Structure 1
């Protein structure tokens, strides 16, 4: 009897050792795991992530702007291990090979309005995602941490939204990410079929749509530590792994991962302004070998997730229906149609008094070819902008289609229509009209052929570098537009969001100030009302954090930052190689005191500029961005300085020598947080977020 008890104990110990080897504890050489469904698993979950009763790993549930993470509980050592042998020493200096496979599904009612995706990542075990943002940051980074080499993070993104900030190739792509969501390599989603091409060996490529309607797909991620190569393959469910990968990149991950440090593997996901859900059905991982096969037959089923259909017109009455039924149905149909027509023709009081020309939805739909992605020219926090051509007049237009859940909302929409709809100035973007249909808000502008100014200042593509003379004319043009807003229109209009991305250029490179969604107007002589502080960090005047009152002088501060940005070719908050952030105005002021002002002019100009004009503009930028509001000039004085009709005063170093960044932080701002998505949240909300990050 005692012998039997000992045998049972030995068997239990052997089973426990085998289980520990399978799960992986970060110390063994044969780490691997496989989940064919997640019932009973002990994954580390945060955010919106849950494991459903059916065994699905549900990362997001359709709620807007949420993030989620799911992490395998046991870490792995990707580099290193203590050993005295020379072979072990060589292994310790290089990243070991690893492989992963997973089955996923992204469910969206509309594949053209889906976001933002799933990322399989490998990150340090002590890495925190608490400060990460949802939406385009997919729960991995925020505006300051994206691109930081200290992340030591590698990911493979399945992205269903095209974001220009990260130079995405389209809204349905796979990318390899190293410490940033700007992928080192990416390609449109799809797979190579080994059965195509006959004997030629030419595998046929087939597209796949990541935002599926109930269809799961499988992905394989492999890193070859010897060849220093990352490969990604994908295929429809139940298809074998293609022999030809979809994506292949050569990259030594030993430059990313830290030796002898434990690393975690998991998934990150996020939603933005559109209703979408992200699921993982199965997952496997292995070190130094292929990931174990996932048992497809044991995977849980996806939930039904179809778009909500709008009420349809009643079908034609069957010929055999009774006359009474036909009459009753006809009466009800007439009443419903008349009710809908009354709603369509409804005009609110403010529309009658202020509204410009109203376009029909049908005309805008045809002009933009059904709002197809090929006509998408911009994406912002207030919605998407599409290029179109009116069929009747052949006029090129830009249509801003405001999202249903946009933070702008009806109140700000009305403000934009009321203000810009009546403004007429050569340096303001002209609002041609608007449309309201079934809750949709659409604004129609004249089309600016050369896009926004920031694309020309920072583009590394084929765009021609802006010479100095056009830059000076752009500055003068925006100053002229501000003079009209502040002093020449019937009321005072404070724009509140002056920045290079809101300055548009027409076909002749004339500058136009646009996006009046945050504008505030009040009667001349009246005191500006206290309101939420909105705008973009870097352009916000320091006194806003104290008074919360937007005035023409807060616009002047943003205009001063704008001047410095156009002249120096640098963003208001600059990232330096050491990982720190410097404020542009402090950097310019430092060089001004040193007498080395020409060293900060945009290097892409190669010295081809008028030194006197550059000094004048930089001095004016410093004066306008003075931290003390009463030391700033008004816009009429600015125009006189630019035209040479008035001599500029000398800067007083003692009043302008303290750091703007420190002042902003003391007032409740934080330079590390860019407004998301266009900084319409109040600064108090920003401060709460910052407190949570710390």
Structure 2
């Protein structure tokens, strides 16, 4: 900053003035003017060279030697914040109205892919600068989770490059106005109204790597908010992109001052969120930015070119013999390294979205896939715990061989389906890697593991490979925890069936595919058998896949997986988690069906006697009876008698009364004799004649 211009100041803003003076003395704001006087405050950064000490930075935010404010670097699942340390006086008194203000800034989002981008960034006004508990990805470093504001308030203008259904985003490239939450009060596809073309609207891509201008103007008297966007080289358009009446009083409540700055976050893909210049003023227009002093945007090739030049400067003076020897050694090491970390890449991978990890990164994260990192072993392969070297994030790496039961087809299915899904009750796929002979999927790490180990401690498949020691006894799941897990899985399944842009049939719902995070929130995972199709289209015939005890009867007859076949498996899951028993139990040739047992007690009017005896009666009898009844409804052999997941959610949330199950005089044997649709292939799957007869003798009162 060349100079600081104080005017006559009121005592209420003396602290703000002294703080700005301290910033000037400690490092200055380079050529940037700051004016604080009376009830006014304004500043301008025409580039940020030498201004790092004049900003409050956290996360990955940093000022480069060239004067560029980088909110995020090329990392994944990170966030960064940059705020002016001085509190800005937005009110004349704590209970007054918000004063007028104006902001202008130049930004750029540089994505690792020309076709895809990570999440966006935002201009922020907030009473505090502590966002340490905020999440990255779609939460932009401002919220801890959906419908949460970390106990604070904020006003934000988001520049978002991801369409998040939970926030009702309009598209993958939009500008939004957020008040205390990330569900925008108003939004618009990114673009501007070109005065030189008769005011025609022209689209802009927020992540094309080019610098753009943004103006944010608020009239305190009329509460009129205008947000305007334009590319560099174009003056401010006369028509704003967003214009609405927005009272910002709820942001500050009883406070009279707030901080101004920026926030940004990345998800599974890497991006750089850059701010090149910034100006701001209260009760007046933002000072003009000197565009001739803007810093240069980073060039991805610059680092490689500099490293190559330095290597040549060191290598050239070396004697010819030593150079030849070193080259030979380097070639040998390079060939061995490429063989060790070689990967496969094909054209189809470009469009599927999730971040691609290098094999070396996953190898290092798991310490060479050590047995001490092994989380589990199954028909699909092995799962390891890892820590990514750059972000230090804990992940789970599923390692699948090409000749396993889950081969290339299932791998692609999982990448296509879960790679685009975003829901708090689905396991988030962070990325993948392909290598000759094996496939690797990278997920969010779930510290509490799979649900089945809490239901069946001491069962098969527990413990780590090569270890004779028994795993620690997991804590008993109380009834409240079980009911919440049921609701979590139901919410995830409802999202798959009806809320996403396509219908996703999971086809393998079971306790071992339900994972629990550190807060015991359930996440449905393992989408290797999932099938996708458009809403309203006919189902396609497929192979009968799944797990014994969870496969719907009609699947063996038609070969068509549908949302109702998932509902059948969910019904088995409801009985399983309530009774603490496996769907099929017993040894030798005698198999005992869990649904048989529950039906038997239902006929006797003693459903509560099937509840897990380990609960020792510590459960809500009405809730347990409701879940068991709902399990029987979902497990009905006729798909038309099963509820949809929308109805299941209504029953679980108490938004609709549970139908009553009433006996009906229907005999399965006579039904099988009179209808050709039942054939002997049904008997290949684990439904006993007793359960089929009993269930077909049940009707659901609608």
Q: Is residue 42–residue 280 contact of structure 2 (8 Å, CA) maintained in 1? A: yes
Q: 1:62 aligns with which of 74, 80, 94?
A: 74
Q: Kindly tell me: are residues 105 and 111 of structure 1, through their superposed partners in 2, closer, same or farther at Cα, counting changes over 3 Å?
A: same
Q: Is residue 94–residue 254 contact of structure 1 (8 Å, CA) maintained in 2? A: yes
Alignment of 1:599-638 (within 5 A): 625=577, 632-636=580-584
Q: d(CA) in 2 for partners of 1:545 and 1:100?
A: 58
CA deviation after TM superposition for structure 1 residue 175, in Å: 1.2
Q: 1:262 aligns with which of 257, 273, 276?
A: 257
Q: 1:205 aligns with which of 201, 211, 221?
A: 201
Q: 2:463 aligns with which of 529, 532, 536?
A: 529
Which residue in the other structure is 2:608 paired with?
Answer: 649
Q: 2:58 aligns with which of 34, 43, 46?
A: 46
Q: After superposition, give the CA deviation of every residue in 1:66-117 in whole Å (9 maximum; x if it has no partner).
A: 21111112112323328xxxxxxxxx53221111100111122323232222
Q: Is residue 575–residue 595 contact of structure 2 (8 Å, CA) maintained in 1? A: no
Higher relative contact order (CA 8 A, sep 6+): 1
3-state SS of paired residue (2:133): coil
Q: Kindly tell me: are residues 409 and 32 of structure 1, through their superposed partners in 2, closer, same or farther at Cα, counting changes over 3 Å?
A: closer
Alignment of 1:218 with 2:219, yes or no, is: no
Q: Kindly tell me: are residues 101 and 618 of structure 1, through their superposed partners in 2, closer, same or farther at Cα, counting changes over 3 Å?
A: same
CA deviation after TM superposition for structure 1 residue 258, in Å: 1.4
Q: Kindly tell me: are residues 240 and 500 of structure 1, through their superposed partners in 2, closer, same or farther at Cα, counting changes over 3 Å?
A: closer
Which residue in the other structure is 2:116 paired with?
Answer: 113
Q: Kindly tell me: are residues 281 and 562 of structure 1, through their superposed partners in 2, closer, same or farther at Cα, counting changes over 3 Å?
A: closer
CA deviation after TM superposition for structure 1 residue 382, in Å: 11
Q: 1:37 aligns with which of 37, 47, 50?
A: 47
Gaps of 5+ in 2: 21-32, 305-334, 359-387, 429-440, 500-518, 523-568, 585-591, 624-702
Gaps of 5+ in 1: 1-10, 83-91, 198-202, 310-338, 348-358, 384-402, 422-430, 435-442, 456-496, 503-514, 532-543, 572-581, 586-616, 661-694
Which residue in the other structure is 1:325 paired with?
Answer: none
Alignment of 1:418 with 2:352, yes or no, is: no
Alignment of 1:371 with 2:351, yes or no, is: yes
Q: d(CA) in 2 for partners of 1:207 and 1:79?
A: 36
TM-score using structure 1 length = 0.50
Which residue in the other structure is 1:103 paired with?
Answer: 106
Q: After superposition, give the CA deviation of every residue in 1:572-619 in whole Å (9 maximum; x if it has no partner).
A: xxxxxxxxxx9999xxxxxxxxxxxxxxxxxxxxxxxxxxxxxxx999
Which residue in the other structure is 1:233 paired with?
Answer: 228
Q: 2:284 aligns with which of 289, 306, 318?
A: 289
Q: d(CA) in 2 for partners of 1:410 and 1:194?
A: 52
Q: 2:271 aligns with which of 273, 276, 299?
A: 276
Alignment of 1:41-440 (within 5 A): 41=51, 42-81=54-93, 92-124=95-127, 126-143=128-145, 146=148, 150-197=151-198, 203-213=199-209, 215-305=210-300, 361=346, 364=348, 371=351, 412-414=398-400, 418-420=404-406, 432-434=409-411
CA deviation after TM superposition for structure 1 residue 217, in Å: 1.0
Q: After superposition, give the CA deviation of every residue in 1:27-47 in whole Å (9 maximum; x if it has no partner).
A: 841111111112233111112
3-state SS of paired residue (1:79): coil
CA deviation after TM superposition for structure 1 residue 218, in Å: 0.8
Q: Is residue 126–residue 153 contact of structure 2 (8 Å, CA) maintained in 1? A: yes
Alignment of 1:640 with 2:652, yes or no, is: no
Q: d(CA) in 1 for partners of 2:166 and 2:303?
A: 32
Which residue in the other structure is 2:380 paired with?
Answer: none
TM-score using structure 2 length = 0.50
Q: Kindly tell me: are residues 433 and 259 of structure 1, through their superposed partners in 2, closer, same or farther at Cα, counting changes over 3 Å?
A: closer
Q: After superposition, give the CA deviation of every residue in 1:504-539 in whole Å (9 maximum; x if it has no partner).
A: xxxxxxxxxxx99899999x97450159xxxxxxxx
Aligned positions, number: 432
Alignment of 1:659-674 (within 5 A): none
